[in-house]
Chain A
Amino acid sequence: MAFNPKPDDDQVLVEKRSCARVIILNRTRQLNALSFYMVSRLLEIFLEDDGNPDIKLVIMKGNGRAFCAGGDVSAVVRDVKGGDWRLGAKFFENEFKLNYLMATYSKPQVSILNGIVMGGGAGASIHGRFRVATEKTVFAMPETELGLFPDVGSTYFLSRLPGFFGEYVGLTGARLDGAEMLTCGLATHFVPSTKLSLLEESLYKVESNDATKVSAIIDKYSEQPSLKENSVYHRMDAINRCFSRKTVEEILYYLEMEAMNNKADNWASTTIRTLKKASPTSLKVFLKLIRKARLQGIGQCLITDYRVVCHVLQGHYSKDFFEGCRAILIDKDRKPKWEPSRLELVSDRDVDRYFAKLDDQGWKDLELPERLNNLPPYVTSKL
């Protein structure tokens, strides 16, 4: 157990404004990265409020310049290196249970994404019913550069983005702004940051958990921002052509063709460079994950994510996650040495191993609670 001398309580601030629960992530020095404590506390709050008829709405936001920059993976790495990998797994177990609860919640969750929202931060917001982006929003799923993979059930919502945008976002860790998030559906609304306090005041007045009424309130402050000129979203044709391919190698091949045919535009070559910096194992595992997830419900996606992340933490097949954290987060030399080092050295069988149950005594698949009662229709479609 990691010993933290500072009191954790103020990492998550909780308020109640008439019928609305307001949750504020408050770990500003770490850009609100989710610690073990924060995940447990959030799970507690959501579980308590689930059966409470006085709470009709949940609002989530972050203090400082981030909504939430991700799960605190350095802490996980410290825990694993300190002793048992299962301590690290516990963090993910709680986090994924929280993600499931948010995805299947009986009340609408409005996340105000006024800043950085990445990795675990996406898991704590995108599964909710409403996501409000602003002109300050920066979204990304950058896990492949860390030797991990976009987890937190992100394969569920990434696979349902238009065309093969989800593959692109997950493999490359591309940064998206508020307008792009709205266009592709990751965000449900776009509200300029100056209007946020007014929006929140209106939301406090909500008296039912009817999603259409909440949507109408947010609509009043929403705008339709235009995409920037060199937005990656203007390249959907090329993205679909390349990222629909069956294997990562083929994706790279078609990106190279794209780069050759469009010498004026450096999008393709930049994308190739980004892919070549990521862990080859992570790329292949994520591609298989998102293809499966497209045909599965949210519960199954999280169960699969948990299996894969446990294999990653156990480290029998590859130590890329630990090497990635070292190079990017700890030593910050940004020169990770992946092992296997090339895509050709990662076989299909190597990838398949990550999807099997763990051969470890006492290990069990992620157990998700049954969510059978009074669920809104937009939730049952996710099951």
Chain B
Amino acid sequence: MDNDNRRASRRTEVLSNHLLPRPHTTTTLLSPSNCLSYSPPELSSSNPVSFDTSVMRSLLDGHNLDDRDWLFGLIVQSPLFNRQERGGRVFVSVDYNHTMEQQREETMRRIGYLLDRGVFRGWLTGDGPQEELRKLALHEVISMYDHSLAVKIGVHIFLWGGAVKFLGTKRHHDKWLRATENYELKGCFAMTELGHGSNVRGVETVTTYDSRSGEFVINTPCESAQKYWIGGAANHATHTIVFSQLYINGGNQGVHAFICPIRDSSGNVCPNIRIAECGHKIGLNGVDNGRIWFDNVRIPRENLLNSVADVSPRGEYLSSIKNVDQRFAAFLAPLTSGRVTIASSAVYISKIGLSIAIRYALTRRAFSMTPNGPEVLLLDYPSHQQRLLPLLAKIYAMSFAGLELKMMYVNRTPESNKEIHIVSSAYKATFTWNNMRTLQECREACGGQGVKSENRIGPFKGEFDVHSTFEGDNNVLMQQISKALLGEYIVCQTKKQPFRGLGLEHMNNPVPVLPSQLRSSILRSSEFQLDLFHLRERDLLGRFVAEVSQYQAQGESKESAFNLVSPLPCFVNYSFIDSLPYSLYVLPELSSCRGLGQSFLRTSNTENLHRGGVEGASWFIEGCLGSVEVVICLDFCG
């Protein structure tokens, strides 16, 4: 009976606790305690930095610092950008838990916010180097926040808008540019097809002219001709630039660009156009890439972007450039801006990855060196330093080189276009490959924390992997370099004129002589290193030209001669890339800042030796320098 009573009263107690709130009993609050052996990187060393970091920042960013800070402020202060407050500090990055649809929606909302705040003003209607630099600066800030946002905006403003501006004429500018800046329409860029990406001249979309109605008719003749990977097309775009072969009176006039509406203002796909989704990607899922098929789509004659060539109302093809190759080159010259922005943003992403990894290495400890001693900071280990610091030095070099390229680009003239084309191709390829390598190293250097999405390095790998193949496949771009150098060499040789441009001026000087005694002080001097790079380039280029000419003399075409001398063109490319930035360094400016010059020169010299790397070492092994010492020294420093 007692047991029953006890059970009953306990049961009653349990039930009444369900119905009545318990009075709050004061218990000791669980509060986080400071970590005993963790401290933030700011406090890890008592030596203050020897130079003014704000001066370094203005050297690295180079231009429009106030604009960048303003845009950072807009992003940080708005709830749309997923700001998180952690330990009193504010962080902004995308929410990695979101689905593809959510990401796309968010991206459009963020664009709307930035549009409202006037971020895009003047991006297309503005002119001149100052406006261009401001636009590039703001776009760099956006790409640091989120690649999807940058690409979604880039496709609309740089690709669609850029095509209208540089491939079109006044009538296109008046009709479309301001509307584009104000997002009254949404543009995309239909160049790539399922069967043709790098080889733009081989696109299979066909456009003919109907002189009776004064319209062009666009068609997708086969499955390989469908437009693929068209950013913005799957969900939102209302207009597109279509790249297609133009047939006039049965004759193929080559690739031309046309403006074609693909959706009406309510978002319904236009008749005769079929659009499909490209599907989930390894990154950039905030961009809705689409596939487009054209089925006798009719557009007015005025929609041909006619800065280079035109079609009269009667159907005559007119162009001031008679040579088809030259016409095509003039046509594509405006697309250089893509390579310039990609090279820049690859550098910024590497900077972010390295900052995260190095700061982490200044707080994380592992293993003690002495029994009962404190665990050692990762960055105090030479092996960890050797993984990260050469990459840091390299990124400084690339940062300045990229800045130089930007300046070349915004101040471009018709004469400088060829050089910009080669240098932008070289830098785009190098910097994007370097970015992937850097991110991988940083990911590993952060161990498990590198696997966590919120720590940014891992997602960057997926987001920016595409850098190496879009806007020109890196390997294809590199080939352009060796082709251009070959052409330049032969021209200068036959016309007996000195080398000018493409960083080849050093070839006009006598062959550099390397000292027979290679002491450490010589190995570390800029002059010696520069001589090494120049010697290598001179030698490789000479051999390349000689071997290609030999095969051509045997009856081979230039193209097959290139394949036959492989991998020599690759080595030529690398030697070009390695020596070019060095000759463009802003060393005089740096040495004017106390302390800055010293620190920088020390890191850059180490980095250059490192850059000699595999390719450099193999060159030396091939026998250009008999001294084994040199090989050992270079490998050691690298």
Give me the interface of A with B, judged by CB distance under 8 Å.
Answer: 159-160, 162-164, 210, 212, 216, 240-241, 244-246, 250, 288, 291-292, 294-295, 348, 370, 372, 375-378, 380-383
Measured CA separation A157–B76 after assembly (Å): 14
Please name 19 pairs of A and B residues whose Cβ atoms are closer than 8 Å in the assembled complex, sorted by A: A240-B78, A244-B73, A244-B74, A245-B117, A288-B66, A291-B66, A291-B73, A294-B72, A294-B73, A294-B76, A294-B77, A295-B69, A295-B73, A348-B66, A370-B46, A377-B34, A380-B87, A381-B87, A383-B42
Q: Do B46 and A372 have beta carbons less than 8 Å apart?
A: yes
Q: Do B118 and A382 have beta carbons less than 8 Å apart?
A: no
* Contact of B72 (CB < 8 Å), options: A164, A241, A244, A295: A295
Q: Which partner residue on chain B sits nearest A379 by CB separation?
A: B88
> In the assembled complex, which residues on chain A have CB atoms less than 8 Å from the CB atom of B118?
245-246, 250
Q: Which partner residue on chain A sits nearest B78 by CB separation?
A: A163
Q: Do B34 and A291 have beta carbons less than 8 Å apart?
A: no
Q: Known interface pairs A160-B90, A381-B88. Does A291 touch B78 (Cβ–Cβ under 8 Å)?
A: no
Measured CA separation A212–B72 after assembly (Å): 32
The reply to whether the CB of B29 lies closer than 8 angstroms to some CB of chain A is yes
> In the assembled complex, which residues on chain B have CB atoms less than 8 Å from the CB atom of A241?
116
Q: Do A378 and B88 have beta carbons less than 8 Å apart?
A: yes
Q: Do B87 and A377 have beta carbons less than 8 Å apart?
A: yes
Q: Do A244 and B117 have beta carbons less than 8 Å apart?
A: yes
What is the distance, in angstroms, from A157's C-beta to the closest C-beta of chain B? 12
* Contact of A291 (CB < 8 Å), options: B46, B70, B116: B70
The reply to whether the CB of B553 lies closer than 8 angstroms to some CB of chain A is no
The reply to whether the CB of B15 lies closer than 8 angstroms to some CB of chain A is no
The reply to whether the CB of B89 lies closer than 8 angstroms to some CB of chain A is yes
What is the distance, in angstroms, from B73's C-beta to the closest C-beta of chain A? 5
Give me the interface of B with A, judged by CB distance under 8 Å.
Answer: 29, 31, 34, 39-40, 42-43, 46, 66-67, 69-70, 72-74, 76-78, 87-90, 116-118
Question: Top 3 A-B pairs ranked by shortest CB distance?
Answer: A381-B88, A381-B89, A212-B31
Q: Do B69 and A380 have beta carbons less than 8 Å apart?
A: no
Measured CA separation A294–B72 after assembly (Å): 9
Measured CA separation A383–B40 after assembly (Å): 10
Measured CA separation A163–B67 after assembly (Å): 18
What is the distance, in angstroms, from B61's C-beta to the closest C-beta of chain A? 12
* Contact of B42 (CB < 8 Å), options: A164, A240, A250, A380: A380
Q: Which partner residue on chain A sits nearest B65 by CB separation?
A: A292
> In the assembled complex, which residues on chain B have CB atoms less than 8 Å from the CB atom of A383?
40, 42-43
* Contact of B88 (CB < 8 Å), options: A216, A246, A382: A382
Measured CA separation A245–B66 after assembly (Å): 12
Q: Which partner residue on chain A sits nearest B72 by CB separation?
A: A295
Measured CA separation A245–B117 after assembly (Å): 7
> In the assembled complex, which residues on chain A have CB atoms less than 8 Å from the CB atom of B67?
246
> In the assembled complex, which residues on chain A have CB atoms less than 8 Å from the CB atom of B39?
380
Measured CA separation A161–B160 after assembly (Å): 38
> In the assembled complex, which residues on chain A have CB atoms less than 8 Å from the CB atom of B90?
160
* Contact of B29 (CB < 8 Å), options: A212, A288, A378: A212
Q: Do A380 and B40 have beta carbons less than 8 Å apart?
A: yes
> In the assembled complex, which residues on chain A have CB atoms less than 8 Å from the CB atom of B42?
380, 383
> In the assembled complex, which residues on chain B have CB atoms less than 8 Å from the CB atom of A377?
34, 87-88
Q: Do A380 and B43 have beta carbons less than 8 Å apart?
A: yes
Q: Which partner residue on chain B sits nearest A247 by CB separation?
A: B70
Measured CA separation A288–B66 after assembly (Å): 8
Measured CA separation A210–B28 after assembly (Å): 13
* Number of CB contacts from chain A to chain B under 8 A: 60
> In the assembled complex, which residues on chain B have CB atoms less than 8 Å from the CB atom of A246?
67, 70, 118
What is the distance, in angstroms, from B28's C-beta to the closest C-beta of chain A? 11
What is the distance, in angstroms, from B140's C-beta to the closest C-beta of chain A? 15
Measured CA separation A349–B629 after assembly (Å): 55
Q: Which partner residue on chain A sits nearest B34 by CB separation?
A: A377
> In the assembled complex, which residues on chain A have CB atoms less than 8 Å from the CB atom of B40?
380, 383
Q: Do A294 and B69 have beta carbons less than 8 Å apart?
A: yes
* Contact of A372 (CB < 8 Å), options: B34, B43, B116: B43
What is the distance, in angstroms, from A345's C-beta to the closest C-beta of chain B? 19
> In the assembled complex, which residues on chain A have CB atoms less than 8 Å from the CB atom of B29?
212, 216
* Contact of B77 (CB < 8 Å), options: A164, A212, A292, A375: A164
Q: Known interface pairs A245-B117, A378-B88. Does A163 touch B66 (Cβ–Cβ under 8 Å)?
A: no
Q: Which partner residue on chain A sits nearest B54 by CB separation?
A: A300
Measured CA separation A375–B40 after assembly (Å): 11
> In the assembled complex, which residues on chain B have CB atoms less than 8 Å from the CB atom of A380?
39-40, 42-43, 87
Q: Known interface pairs A291-B69, A380-B42. Does A163 touch B89 (Cβ–Cβ under 8 Å)?
A: no
> In the assembled complex, which residues on chain A have CB atoms less than 8 Å from the CB atom of B73?
159, 244, 291, 294-295
> In the assembled complex, which residues on chain B have CB atoms less than 8 Å from the CB atom of A288?
66
> In the assembled complex, which residues on chain B have CB atoms less than 8 Å from the CB atom of A212?
29, 31
Measured CA separation A291–B75 after assembly (Å): 12
Measured CA separation A247–B78 after assembly (Å): 18
Q: Which partner residue on chain A sits nearest B88 by CB separation?
A: A381
Measured CA separation A244–B482 after assembly (Å): 49
Measured CA separation A294–B77 after assembly (Å): 9
What is the distance, in angstroms, from A166's C-beta to the closest C-beta of chain B? 9
Q: Which partner residue on chain A sits nearest B77 by CB separation?
A: A163
Given contacts A291-B70, A294-B73, 15 further A-B contacts (CB under 8 A): A159-B73, A163-B78, A212-B31, A244-B73, A244-B117, A245-B117, A294-B76, A370-B46, A372-B46, A378-B87, A378-B88, A380-B40, A380-B87, A381-B89, A383-B42
What is the distance, in angstroms, from A92's C-beta to the closest C-beta of chain B? 21
> In the assembled complex, which residues on chain B have CB atoms less than 8 Å from the CB atom of A372?
43, 46
> In the assembled complex, which residues on chain A have CB atoms less than 8 Å from the CB atom of B89?
381
Q: Which partner residue on chain B sits nearest A351 by CB separation?
A: B66
What is the distance, in angstroms, from B145's C-beta to the closest C-beta of chain A? 14
Measured CA separation A225–B544 after assembly (Å): 80
> In the assembled complex, which residues on chain A have CB atoms less than 8 Å from the CB atom of B31?
210, 212
What is the distance, in angstroms, from A324's C-beta to the closest C-beta of chain B? 26
Q: Which partner residue on chain A sits nearest B26 by CB separation?
A: A216
Measured CA separation A76–B43 after assembly (Å): 36
Q: Known interface pairs A370-B46, A380-B43, A381-B87. Does A162 touch B69 (Cβ–Cβ under 8 Å)?
A: no
What is the distance, in angstroms, from B58's C-beta to the closest C-beta of chain A? 11
Q: Which partner residue on chain B sits nearest A304 by CB separation?
A: B54
> In the assembled complex, which residues on chain A have CB atoms less than 8 Å from the CB atom of B116?
241
Measured CA separation A281–B254 after assembly (Å): 59
> In the assembled complex, which residues on chain B have CB atoms less than 8 Å from the CB atom of A210?
31
Q: Which partner residue on chain A sits nearest B44 by CB separation?
A: A372
What is the distance, in angstroms, from B180's C-beta to the closest C-beta of chain A? 21
What is the distance, in angstroms, from A159's C-beta to the closest C-beta of chain B? 8
> In the assembled complex, which residues on chain B have CB atoms less than 8 Å from the CB atom of A163?
77-78
Q: Which partner residue on chain A sits nearest B116 by CB separation?
A: A241
Q: Do B69 and A244 have beta carbons less than 8 Å apart?
A: no
Q: Which partner residue on chain B sits nearest A243 by CB separation?
A: B77
Q: Taking each of A241, A348, A381, which has the highest tally of chain B beta carbons within 10 Å of its own beta carbon?
A: A381
Q: Which partner residue on chain B sits nearest A371 by CB separation?
A: B43
What is the distance, in angstroms, from A372's C-beta to the closest C-beta of chain B? 5
Measured CA separation A238–B74 after assembly (Å): 15
Measured CA separation A383–B42 after assembly (Å): 8
> In the assembled complex, which residues on chain A have CB atoms less than 8 Å from the CB atom of B77?
162-164, 240, 244, 294
What is the distance, in angstroms, from B40's C-beta to the closest C-beta of chain A? 5
What is the distance, in angstroms, from A171's C-beta to the closest C-beta of chain B? 14
Measured CA separation A370–B45 after assembly (Å): 11
Measured CA separation A100–B117 after assembly (Å): 34
Q: Which partner residue on chain B sits nearest A376 by CB separation?
A: B34
Measured CA separation A212–B90 after assembly (Å): 21
> In the assembled complex, which residues on chain A have CB atoms less than 8 Å from the CB atom of B74?
244
Measured CA separation A125–B39 after assembly (Å): 27
* Contact of A292 (CB < 8 Å), options: B34, B43, B69, B78: B69
What is the distance, in angstroms, from A110's C-beta to the closest C-beta of chain B? 18
> In the assembled complex, which residues on chain B have CB atoms less than 8 Å from the CB atom of A348?
66
Q: Taking each of B39, B73, B88, B90, which has the highest tally of chain A beta carbons within 10 Å of its own beta carbon?
A: B73
Q: Which partner residue on chain B sits nearest A377 by CB separation?
A: B87
> In the assembled complex, which residues on chain A have CB atoms less than 8 Å from the CB atom of B34?
376-377
> In the assembled complex, which residues on chain B have CB atoms less than 8 Å from the CB atom of A370?
46
Q: Which partner residue on chain B sits nearest A160 by CB separation?
A: B90
Measured CA separation A378–B69 after assembly (Å): 25
> In the assembled complex, which residues on chain A have CB atoms less than 8 Å from the CB atom of B88?
377-378, 381-382
